[in-house]
Each structure stands twice: as C-alpha cells, then as structure tokens.
Structure 1
Amino acid sequence: LVEQAAVAIIVFKGNEITIDAVNPKMLQLLDKPADIAGKPLLEAIPELFGQKAYELLHQVYTTGKTFNGNETAVQLNRNGKIETGFYNFTYTPLIENGKITGIIDIAVDVTSQVMAAKMVQKLNDELANANEELSVTNKQINISNQMLTNINEDLIFSRKQLEQSEQILRMAIEAANFGNWSINVNSRVLIVSSRFKELFGFHPQDKITLSDCLNQITDDFKPAAEHAIENALARPEEFDLSFTIKTFNDQKIRWLRTVGNLTETANNDISSFTGIIMDITEQKKDEQRKNDFIGMVSHELKTPLTSLGAYVQLLQRINANTTENNTINVLDKAGQQIKKMNSMINGFLNLSRLESGKIHLEKTDFELNVLIEEVISELLLTSSNYIVKLTPSATVSVKADRDKIGNVITNLASNAIKYSPNNKNVEIFCTIDNMNAVVLVKDHGIGIKPENLPNLFDRYYRVEGKQTSTISGFGIGLYLSAEIIQRHGGKIWAESIVGKGSTVGFSLPM
C-alpha cells in the first residue's frame, strides 16, 4: 500500500527513527535513492539534523500524539545543493499492543503554492504603494485643473474690464509658471514672454522667430507641429498640441503643451493667434512610470498564474476518471477563473503597449467568419450556459491583424455575455457593406442609457448602476478594441435600448 500510494509516505521504526519503508513519491520529494531504507534517518538524510521537522519526530514518538505540519520550511540536499522547500505533513504514531513502535509520515510539497502566495502578497503591497502615489498625482492634477478653470474665468471677465483683467491674467500666468505667446496671422511675427523663452532654452534678451522655435522641436513631432500650427492659423478652431523639444542652450529634452486660438478684432477680423505654453515633462514621466508599472505587474502576475493554470490542468487530468462530480466542477471553475484573470492581465499589457507605442499591426489575409467561429468555440468553453451563434453569411475575407481582430471580437462577445444575465442568446453577424466588412454583436441584456453611449469607448470608462455594480471589469476592453479598429482604418460604434439589449459593431476596409 505504501509503495502504491499516490502521495509521499515514509515509515520509521524505533526510537532511532530508522527508515522502515519509503515509497517512490517520497524518494522523489527527498531526492534520495531507494537504498536509504533500513538506515537511521540522520544517516540517510544528515541535513535534517537540528531542523524542526526532525525534532518533531522524537516528540511524536515520545508522546504518541499525531502532529500536522502546515507549510513548514525544510532544508534538503538536492543535487549537491541545500534548498529550502515548504511542506504539509502528518506524523502519525504506529502503536502495536499498546506500545509506540514507529511513525508514519505523509508529506505534500507545497513550495510552489507558498512562493506564489508570497509573490502575490509582494505584488499587492507594491500595488498599494503605487495607488497611494497615483492618488497624490491625481490630487496634483486636480489642483492644476482648478488653476486652469480659474484662468478661464478670468479670461471671460476680461471682456468686460480689459485693463484690470489683463493684469489678473499676467499674475495668474506667472503664478502657474506658464509662458504666453502671440503670432500675427499675416506677418507670422512671434511675440513671447520670458517664461516662453526659458522653456525653449533661450535667454530673456534673445530675439526669436517662429522658425527658431520650430527648429527646437524634435524630428518625430516637427512635421505634425508645423501642420497643426498652419491649420490653426487658417481656421478658428481650438488649438491644443503636445510635443518634445531639445532646448537651445543646454540641449535637454523637454515635453511642452501649448493651447491657443485665433483672436478677433472688433470688426470680426482675425488679427492674431495667441495662447499659453507649459512644461508637462513631469506629467509625461508620471504617465510613463504608471504604464511601466502596469506592464511590469501584469507581466509578473502571468508567471504564477501560468503555473497555477498548469497545476489545475494536471489535477483535471488526474481526476479525469473520477466519479466525484464536485471535484470536477471545482477544477472546471478554477480553470475558468484563471482564464478570466489571464484575459484581464492581457488587457493591461495591451493597454501598456498601446500607450507606449509598442503595438504593431501584422496584417494577413484571412476569412473573418472563420475567425468568429473560433472565438465562439473558445467562449463557450467558459460560458457553456449561453447560446452564442454566428448568423450564416457569405465568406468575408479581409487583410488585417488576425490576432488583434480576434481580441476585439472576444471583447465584444464577452461583454454581451456579461451584461445579459437573464437572456442567454447572443447573436453575431458578419456582412459586407459598401466595400467594408461589418461585424455586429447583438445581445438581449440590460442595455445602455443614451447618455453613456458617447463615453463607452473611453479608457477606464464603466457604466455605473445597480445592475452593473457586481459585474467585473476595468473599462479597458472597449477602449483597446476602438484603438485597434481605428488603427486598421475602420470604425466602431454602439446602439442600445435600455432593458432590451445592445448591438456593438465595427467595420474594416476590404
């Protein structure tokens, strides 16, 4: 029985703790040969001397009381190197004719689980610290936003009392450490403040032109900046531009943001293009640190999660022929939760890659309706109580990034399932309309209020309400989907009736 047992077992005899029997599972756990049988424990495994696990054996042999060890650290010699592992074990005294004659030890290696738990705790601590830092950053951003609001109120008041408001505006700009500028629409003459010159790395006494400033913009932003300025000079639209420069005197890279608009004269003639400019380098660094942190944490979470998934799959194989339905159901649910966590982590990784510009499209020719069938098959593995079907259609071929379009379809269908708790039918349509491939995902769920539809594809946006409070999510799936479709030159949209369901669709040029 000991030899054939599915767990690690070793039997000791006498007060010298001599190994009487040991099964292959225990030999594998100890990393020892079979000839340790018949030897005293310390002769066979000398590294146990002085360790708690060895001392407890004598205690059990003396008292006759069973001892259960939980996640106990034990150091063993493996391949000539002392390694620390964690084990759950039970020491049970063997009693013959009322006398203690030995001990049976049943052990399970839980090192991976213990290390994974420690890693998760470490990540949780790091996440908590990061949240505190982000909270501080958000407060600073709110303060800056409030300052901008005050400046805008001062600008409105300046139309009534020009001289007084100009003085207030100058004070506000200096307090906020902004620079200001003005460009004559006809002559292109540039007039700037000292702070503006400082931001570009010029001295206060330097005379600079619009070309001098454009020359400091880095090559990756310069063409777009020149185009944006020319458009702004020609059309009465709001101007808001962020870019990097290399300062004139010390050649430092700096992030700047400038906003402005065309100014009209009393005769409604456009005379100048004016605005303010600010240093947003620290804000950009904070954003990069946040994206790096999200990417790092998501990547680190995938490793223990992958191991956990492998353990669940192993247990599913071991219990494949079992008649214990509860065990099978628990393992299936564990596998489903692991897939959901993997999906969330992949969402954060994709968000981090998207915002850092590391998402690239690898376009190939494929049949869109075949891809939809594959997505449906995978979804039904975790949502078997739903009916998700593709309405029959002609073959639709597109040239796009197959994996990323698959992610979009998965996001839309998963949302349809999540937000349809009472109606289990989800329909997917794939058609051709005016040389565009069109995919529609229709559910019969709770629906979306009209006021929420315009923000549906915003980053981190979630519809708040009693019906959605228990539905998990971070508000990044639809945002990523919209970005992927837009990068393919397509469109994405949503239609909904509260209480009757929603239809979310996208189109791709063929």
Structure 2
Amino acid sequence: MNFGFISGGGECGALIRSIDWTKNPLGPIEKWPQSLRTTLSIILNSKFPMFLFWGPELICFYNDAYRPSLGMDGKHPNAMGQTGAEAWPEIWEIIKPLIDQVLSGGEATWSEDQLIPIYRNGKIEDVYWTFSYSPAYDETEKPAGVFVTCTENTQKVNTLKALSESKDELEFAINAAELGTWDYNPITNKFISNTRLKRWFGISTDTEIDLKTALNAIAEKDRKNVQEAILNALDYSSGGNYKAKYTIINAKTGKERIVKAKGKALFNEQNIAYRLNGTLQDITEEVAAQNAFRESEENFRNLILQAPVGMIILKGENFFVELVNDTYLKLAGKTRKEFAEKTLWEALPESKTLGFDYLLKKVMQTGIAHHGNEQVITSIRNGQKETVYINFVYEPLKDADGSINRIMVVAIDVTEILESKRKIQDAEERARLASAAAGLGTFDLDLRTGEMTTSERFDEIFGYKLHVPRSNYVSAIHPDDHELRLNAHRRALDIGRIYYEVRVVWQDKSIHWIRVQGKIYYDGDGKALRMLGTVMDTTQQRNDKEELLQINQRLEIALEAGRLGSYELDLKTRKIRFSDQFNKNYGLLPKKKLSYDELLNFVEPNFKADVISAIDTAILTGTIYQAEYQIRWPDGSIHWIKESGKAQYDEKGNPITFIGVSFDITETKQLQQQKDDFIGIASHELKTPVTSIKAYAQVLERILLKKGDIKEAELMKKMDSQLNRLTNLIGDLLDVTKVNLGKLQYNHTHFDFNEMVRFAIEELQRTTEIHHILADLQEVGLVYADKERVSQVVTNLMTNAIKYSPDSEQIVVHSSIENNSVVVCVEDFGIGIAENNLNKVFEQFYRVSGSMQHTFPGLGLGLYISSEIIKREGGKIWVSSTEGKGSKFCFSIPIQRTN
C-alpha cells in the first residue's frame, strides 16, 4: 500500500508508522478515509504546532512542532493514537465542550493566553495557550474531527507577570525612598514626571510639562550646567550617562531644594537619542551637613592662624609642618620661610636635642595627649637669647579610620604670668558625612502573614551577612528603643507612613543608629496589605554632629583659657554672636546680647572711625584685621582691647560673615605708659645738668689751652665729645616719648631736597676721618616736608652706616624720584644684618645682636624714630641687607603732600 501521506513528518510521522492500528478503533491505515489522510499530511508537514481529534472516539494526532509542549516524562509518545479522554483526562472537562461545539456544526473557537494545566515533565504544570478549534470534514462534508492549531504562551505570560510585579516593586521602592522620576523625549520635547517631582516644582499634578518648564524650576545659577549635562548625555559618544547636582525652587512656595539627578539616554540604530529618563533625589540635608562641616573646619583653621597663642600642626612620622601661626613663629624666633615645606626638626633642630622628639613619637604611637607646664626653652627676642617658660600640649588628631597621623601643638608663653598657669588645647576635627541614598536597604513586609523580604544592604545594616527571620531583626533593636518602634508601627497603620530612628545592637555588641521610613499599601477595602520601605545607617551622621559639637566646645575652652573673646558677625543681617569671655572683655554680664552698632558705641570716639575703616578694609581685601583701641565699660572705666579677625566669603566671593577674637591689654598699656612717662621725665631732668656740664667743659678747655696745658685740654675735648653723645641719647629718648604721645612737632615748608642732603653729608663728614661719604644724587628739586625732621632721618641713617662699617671706608647716599616720591638710600659695606632680624630693626630699643654687640653702643631708638617720622610724612622706610656684606637703608616721601 502507498502510505505516502505519512512517509515524512519527522518523529511524529515515524511514531504513527510504528503503531499497530489494527488494535485501534480507526483500524488499519489502508482503510483510513482520504479526508483523514489529507488532514494528517497537512499536519505532519507543517512547522506550526497542530493537533487533531478524529472520529467518534476523538483519536489524537499531533506533529513535531506540537511535540515540545508535551514536555518530558509526560504524554508523549503514548498520546499518539489514544482517545481524547485517555490522553487529556486532567483537562477533558475544559476542552470537551469546545470539541462538541465544533462537531455539532458550530463556529470555530478562539482562545488567547488561556490557562490550561496539563501533565508533563512528571507533574501537572500551569500552561498558557493561544489556540483555535475548527472542524475537519470527511467525504460526506460533515465534521469528522476537530483540527487544533495552537501556540504555547507560558513563557510570555510568565514574563509579563514578572515584569508587572517588578514594576510594582520598583514603584514601591521609589515611593519609599521619596525619589522623583522623569522621562524626557528629546524628539518631541515631551517631559513626563511623577507626582512627587511636580510637587517639588510647585506645579499642579495634572499639568503637562515640557523640558523648558522643568528647566525653569532650576535655580538660575545651576541652569546652564544642567542644560550642558543633558546635551552631553544625548550625545552618543558620551555613553548616554547623565548626572548632575543642582537647586530647584518651588514656583508656589519659593522653597529651595538641592537634588542629585541620575539618568540614562537610549539611542536608536542611527545613534540618535530618543529617550532620557532617570531619578531625582533630595540631598538638601546632606549638602547642609557638608557645608556645616566645611565651615567649621575653616573656622578651626582661621582661629588657629588668628589665635595669640602659639599653634602648629605636625603631620606624619617625620612631623612635617602642615600649619603654623604667627604667634608660634614669634615664640620660636623664626620666620615663616624657615618653616615652609620642612619638618619640625629642620625648622627647629634644637628641639630634637631637648627630648621633644621622644614625646611626639610617644603621642603618635599611643594616641594619648601630652601636657607640659613651665617648660624652659631658649628663644631669640629683640635680637637676644632669652629664657622663656611655656605651657604646651601635644594633642593627637585622629583620621577617619581612627589612626593617628597628625599632632597639634599648642604653646603658651607664661613667662610673665606663671601664677595663672593656663592650658590651651584644641581637639581634632574629623567628620564623615552620612551615607547617601546608595546606602539604603529595602524591605517588603506582608502585613497579613508577617513575612518580610529584605535586600542585602538591609541585612548588613542590621549586622547580618545573610537573610534571617524577621524576629531576628526585631531582636537586634536596642531594648530601650522597642517602645519607640512599636509606637511608630501603630501610628503607621493610621497615617499610612512609617518613620522612626532607633539603635540596633550587632552580634559583636556594637551599637548603630538606623532610620526607617516607608509606606503602607491597602486593598480595595482599605485593609493594610504591605509595608514597603527603606532603612539607612545614620550612625556616622549622629557621630559627626556629636563630634562637631565637641570641637566647638573645645574651641571655646581654648579661647577662654587664653582670655580670648570670640565673635561672629553676619554681614547681611548685622546680627552678632559672641562668647562669654567677649562679654567679660567689654565689662558686660554673661549672656548679655547687643547689636553690632550698640557694640561699636563702646569704642571711644577718637578710635571708632579707625576701627570701622580697618574692618571694612579687611573685608574688602580679604586680609586679616588687626587693631588696638580704647573702650568705655558700662561702669565708666577705660580699657584697651587688642582685636583681630577675618571675613568669610561665599562661592561667588561675597562676604557673608566676619569672625574675630579680642584680648584685654589694659594692663600692658598701663605698663607701657608708665615706662614712657619715666623716660620722658628722666630725659627732661637730665637735659639741663648735661647742658651745664658741657658748657663748663668747653670753658675749662679754653682756659687750659691759654695756660698751655695741652694734655689736660685734650681730656676736656674728649669729655665734650662724650657729652655730645649723651645729649644725642637724651634727645632720642625725648623724641621717642613725643612720638608715643603723638606730640612730636612738624613744620612743613618747601625746600631744595638735594641741598639739604649735601649739607647733612658735609656736617657728618667733619666728624669722621676714616669714612668717606659719596653723594649719588639725581635732580629732585623742591619738596614739601619738615626739613629738619627729614634731615634728622638722613643723618641717622648715615651715622648708623658709619657705626656698623668699622672695616669699610665708603658710604654712598643715593637720591632719585619714583612715582611722584623722593627715594633716598644710604648704602654701607659693613657687617650687615641677619635675614631673620630684618623685620625688627625699626622696633624700639632694637640693637645688633651677636658677638659684635659690645662694639656698637646706643639705645636702639634712632631707626624707630626715623620710621615714625617717615610714616608721619606719608612715606615708607625699608632695609635690604646681606650678613657680612653690608646694608642698604631706604625711605621715600611724597614730593607734595595732599594733607
């Protein structure tokens, strides 16, 4: 017989050929009707899944394309040739009515994604089908069977269900984390956002917006950067990543909110962006904490630099100098250049031999601060070695990981106040900001069963490496905080949201702070079903706040120990805050509050304008403000205040606050006044007898010369010379007293400047036979100044040049005009001045130090007087020198004064 209709058909065709059909209700193949043969030929040779129920017994046939749907260890191969009831007992009640409908002449059926569980792979499985039942006709043109075309959609349906569940979970997580979401179509310019983002923008939730509307919600200062970030993300070469941080402003309330945006662009085959979407996270509190930290650190550094006590910060095993203030430099007798980019031992080699090396290493190793009182050191002051007593503290500063890599040294000169024995110490400033949203753990709590699903980060925050039963998480909460948690859960059932902060105790007994927040979801009847939320470890945030508080407290202790009053002025509101010590310095009761203008009223009228001008100048130029002035206490007493400070600026360079410190120097000023009074009285009382003695010496010299007593007359002449020196010294003392009291008289006239200089040279040349004074004078012309005082300065500079050039014969005096000012320089080639002493030569009573000190007599007042005269003339005075090669003293004064 020719069975060509089943000669192919793959595995299923071979299976049909192998069956003994004589035992089947259909009978032998050769007796099968042509309609069955034709139908089977179509089915077996089709690549589309097909099935056939034939005859009254509904015998089953299927092809290779249908066979995978039967699974393994299931119906195949036994289903081939079985009756429908035998092959599909588990679903016969479902499909039999459909078969009957078709066989009775009804219309073909159609079912899409229909769940029809079947037995396969050794078990009953849920299987989804899209299928059609249609009639298969015999030779009488009546339905003899049911032709089934079908597709299994189980994977598609399961995938769609999984996507739907994932979408729900993602939406729950976004809402719990309070994220704003957005989706931008760069082709249509359409901008879609969730409700939260519209509320942030101050836009009605039913309003459609475009990109321009969204950009208008961004603060103007950030708008350009955001636009550039968007354009960059839409550029295919950038990878499509979008990240930005900026400020948005609510259009209704004006509330500002700092957000962090993250997104990703999608591109088509032509590398053109067709979608950009992402999230916005509110980081306002995080940024505020960062700003507070930076501001506190800047205040800390400023207070160190401005403090009148010595402070230095050393870093690393070699104790590299990281920061040092002027007070410490003065205490050490060094310049800033000698400390720049050096270790402590390079800048102060003598300190290592005194045992400080051992103490610093011990502090670095143990982390225990070292306090020293009344330590004896040798310091260079006013060019002379002096024994100085200091109190000091070596304070270790911890890094974020707890290691110690820096030491802060605080040194206080207590030589004159040993009875008070003060300590100054300041603590390390370390702060680490709270973790961002990337550190959030998530949870999903089924409120009906109590079962909870958590993320890995959630487990880590509770101190677990793996997921544990919910009871373990609850047990980890600190016993004292259980009531707080229970109250939060009860309240959440009423308001639909949960929020609380508690402590958790890890298995290693360490305690951590966490913040839990989330949302409850309800069914159609309002019954709570799920709680979805996040948990964040806030331990570091709390530690940072506590650390900042401790640092401020330590700074206040340090300032109080040094009797330093501190204040902070808000330059916009003019509101001022000051410490209790500041109140004491102004004679005020503790906690007494004053405005800035009220505080200025304490300043004596003749100082007030200068104080205001100095503060304004410091703010304008960004320099450190320093001033000494008198104030009147509420009890009427007058006190002297020494004050310094500096302004702080925002990112645009605008001044926002002014921070300063004050110190009561009344006692020091009183001692200075007593000294000046004594010098003035003593000098005045000495002047008359010295003048009389000088006259007697000159008379005696003439008498002795007439008698021919040449040797005795020469002695009188030497006495007269010494009296001249004494007269000059007394004159210097009187001038210093007048300078300090502001009573030095000036008489301004027009005079020929070079003529005055030549006359001074000629007068001084007569007094020396060893030195030759050369005049290198450019044409200057007339100058308006006090001729006698300026001549006094020129003479003083030439006298010093002669005095400090014992082995050199030449002195050169230069004059020139620069920028409408006369410049005079006196150059010698003598012993010179050490670089670290150049800034001291114009101080009162400063004299050359070192082995040659005894060779050069004098009180050290000439240069001080000269500098004050030049300042009074509106000029400036300076010196350049090389030790062993000579010095060059210069001054300049205006040709014409404007006042």
Q: TM-score, normalised by structure 2?
A: 0.38
Structure 1 position 387, deviation (Å): 2.8
Structure 1 position 306, deviation (Å): 1.1
Structure 1 position 264, deviation (Å): 7.2
Matches within 5 A, 1:466-505: 466-505=851-890
Seen in structure 2, the aligned counterparts of structure 1 residues 199 and 500 have a Cα distance that, compared at 3 Å, is closer
Q: Residue 207 of structure 2 corresponds to which residue in structure 1?
A: none
- Mean CA deviation greater in 216-225 or 384-393: 384-393
1:154 aligns with 2:431: no
Write the distance in 2 (CA, Å) between the matches of 1:285 and 1:217: 18
1:344 aligns with 2:694: no
Q: Residue 441 of structure 1 corresponds to which residue in structure 2?
A: 826
Q: Residue 293 of structure 2 corresponds to which residue in structure 1?
A: none
Structure 1 letter corresponding to 2:705: A
Write the distance in 1 (CA, Å) between the matches of 2:710 and 2:640: 60
Q: Residue 394 of structure 2 corresponds to which residue in structure 1?
A: none
Matches within 5 A, 1:319-358: 319-358=704-743
Structure 2 contact 704–710 (Cα < 8 Å) conserved: no
Identity over aligned pairs, percent: 34
Write the distance in 1 (CA, Å) between the matches of 2:832 and 2:413: 36
Q: Residue 423 of structure 1 corresponds to which residue in structure 2?
A: 808
Q: Residue 272 of structure 1 corresponds to which residue in structure 2?
A: 657
Structure 1 position 206, deviation (Å): 4.3
| Alignment partner of 1:171 out of 557, 571, 596 | 557
Write the distance in 2 (CA, Å) between the matches of 1:438 and 1:357: 25
1:409 aligns with 2:681: no
1:216 aligns with 2:488: no
Q: Runs of 5+ in structure 1 lacking a partner?
A: 1-134
- Mean CA deviation greater in 254-263 or 383-392: 383-392
Write the distance in 1 (CA, Å) between the matches of 2:795 and 2:672: 28
Write the distance in 2 (CA, Å) between the matches of 1:357 and 1:149: 36
Structure 1 contact 396–431 (Cα < 8 Å) conserved: no
Structure 1 letter corresponding to 2:704: N
Structure 1 position 364, deviation (Å): 1.1
Seen in structure 2, the aligned counterparts of structure 1 residues 145 and 503 have a Cα distance that, compared at 3 Å, is farther
| Alignment partner of 1:185 out of 561, 566, 571 | 571
Write the distance in 2 (CA, Å) between the matches of 1:267 and 1:365: 49
Q: Residue 290 of structure 1 corresponds to which residue in structure 2?
A: 675
Write the distance in 2 (CA, Å) between the matches of 1:164 and 1:454: 39
Tell me, what secondary structure is at the counterpart of 2:811? strand
- Mean CA deviation greater in 305-314 or 187-196: 187-196
Structure 1 position 278, deviation (Å): 2.6
Write the distance in 1 (CA, Å) between the matches of 2:420 and 2:662: 14
Write the distance in 1 (CA, Å) between the matches of 2:791 and 2:568: 49
Structure 2 contact 833–881 (Cα < 8 Å) conserved: yes
Write the distance in 1 (CA, Å) between the matches of 2:591 and 2:622: 32
Structure 1 position 225, deviation (Å): 1.5
Deviations 1:350-392 (A, max 9, x none): 1121112112322112222332333234334543443334346
How many residues end up aligned between the 2 structures? 372
Structure 2 contact 583–591 (Cα < 8 Å) conserved: no
Seen in structure 2, the aligned counterparts of structure 1 residues 340 and 296 have a Cα distance that, compared at 3 Å, is same
Structure 1 contact 158–166 (Cα < 8 Å) conserved: no
Structure 1 letter corresponding to 2:549: E
Q: Residue 366 of structure 1 corresponds to which residue in structure 2?
A: 751
Write the distance in 2 (CA, Å) between the matches of 1:214 and 1:159: 36
Seen in structure 2, the aligned counterparts of structure 1 residues 312 and 289 have a Cα distance that, compared at 3 Å, is same
Write the distance in 2 (CA, Å) between the matches of 1:326 and 1:243: 58
Matches within 5 A, 1:244-283: 244-247=630-633, 249-262=634-647, 272-283=657-668
More helix by share: 1
| Alignment partner of 1:310 out of 687, 690, 695 | 695
Structure 1 position 190, deviation (Å): 0.9
1:240 aligns with 2:512: no
Q: TM-score, normalised by structure 1?
A: 0.64
Deviations 1:378-433 (A, max 9, x none): 33454344333434664632111122112111111111111121233323234444
- Mean CA deviation greater in 190-199 or 469-478: 190-199
Structure 1 letter corresponding to 2:586: F
Q: Whose radius of gyration is greater, 1 or 2?
A: 2
Structure 1 letter corresponding to 2:703: I
Seen in structure 2, the aligned counterparts of structure 1 residues 386 and 145 have a Cα distance that, compared at 3 Å, is farther
Write the distance in 1 (CA, Å) between the matches of 2:602 and 2:787: 40
Write the distance in 1 (CA, Å) between the matches of 2:674 and 2:414: 16
Structure 1 position 214, deviation (Å): 0.9
Deviations 1:212-267 (A, max 9, x none): 111221111111112223334455432322211222x3232222222233457999
Write the distance in 1 (CA, Å) between the matches of 2:749 and 2:852: 40
Structure 1 letter corresponding to 2:693: L
Write the distance in 2 (CA, Å) between the matches of 1:480 and 1:159: 50
Tell me, what secondary structure is at the counterpart of 2:642? strand
- Mean CA deviation greater in 188-197 or 229-238: 229-238
Q: Runs of 5+ in structure 2 lacking a partner?
A: 1-386, 391-411, 432-546
